[in-house]
Amino acid sequence: MLTRTEELISGYLPDLPADRVTRIADTAFVVFKSGLDLVMAHEGPEREAYIAELKAVMYGYLHPLACARPTGVTAHDTDTP
């Protein structure tokens, strides 16, 4: 799954250096696995609430990286801090 995550990130951000893609994929993967533990520890509406939180976290981290950039702006220019 980690390799596939790197492939997806590279597809969205082809100009990003490989080491940065690896760090983003590693971080996203670990965050997802941690969130999944919370999801699986709950049932019913509470589980659904944790699913929504996990989606919000993943979206909040990955969306700024994958947003369209103006012409001439590279992925390096829009790195998160």
What is the token pair recorded at 46? 């509470």
Mean pLDDT of 57-76: 73
pLDDT tens readout for residues 24-50: 999 999 999 999 999 999 999 999 999
Residue (of 60, 68, 58, 74) closest to 25 by Cα position: 58
pLDDT at 66: 81
56 φψ region: left (φ > 0), alpha (ψ -120 to 50), beta (else): alpha
Average pLDDT over residues 5-34: 93
Burial class, 38, CB count within 10 angstroms (exposed 0-12 / middle 13-18 / buried 19+): middle
Residue 81: predicted pLDDT: 47
pLDDT value of position 35: 96
Task: Quote the pTM value.
Answer: 0.74
